[in-house]
Structure 1
């Protein structure tokens, strides 16, 4: 007997200033929906001690569409005693077909950020 397929959207945030995981970053996931194309918030979370947000959506919920990941970097840097040039980072991405796994790494510093489609 095989298990039902599961799907997940994960992020991993690394503080490139220290080389450590970015812990406690507030994150919001939204999807572009409706005839007026409005952003509808799907979930709020925060990064754990390893800098991960392990499971944003339930199995089968990562469907084709346009999504926005909003990460509150300003508050994170402020609690560490830094002033950030970017008060938040928004990563907008398109899923072209329902997928089982989607991973978004995010590398941050007070004055830059980098992201890419992970595996």
Structure 2
């Protein structure tokens, strides 16, 4: 099992949980997190369980870990566009960008 995370929609100051997910051996989710009618304009958050991932891999981390649960917030401005969000991370840093 790979990195675990939670995916939510942000509406009117509320966080609405949509699903939890795990990343597969290819570094992707098995299915898109949004598709069909659920793919709509709005604000979303991925909460990545970075500390759990490295503990599962047997990495030696400080206690508490430097990075624990990392939130990434994105805004979808058009339901006609598709969003791919590559994320790279280590025990001390992370980066992400809008892919094609």
TM superposition score normalised by structure 1: 0.73
**Runs of 5+ in structure 2 lacking a partner?**
none
Corresponding pairs, count:
95
Q: Which of the pair has more CA radius of gyration? A: 1
Instruction: Within 5 Å, give how 1:35-46 maps onto structure 2.
Output: 37-46=13-22
- Structure (1 or 2) with the greater strand fraction: 1
TM-score (norm 2): 0.85
Question: RCO higher in 1 or 2 (8 Å CA, sep ≥ 6)?
Answer: 1
* Aligned Cα root-mean-square deviation (Å): 1.5
Unpaired runs of 5+ residues, structure 1, are 1-22
| Aligned residue among 23, 45, 61 for 2:38 | 61
Within 5 A, what are the aligned runs for 1:1-119? 24-34=2-12, 37-53=13-29, 54-82=31-59, 83=61, 84-119=65-100
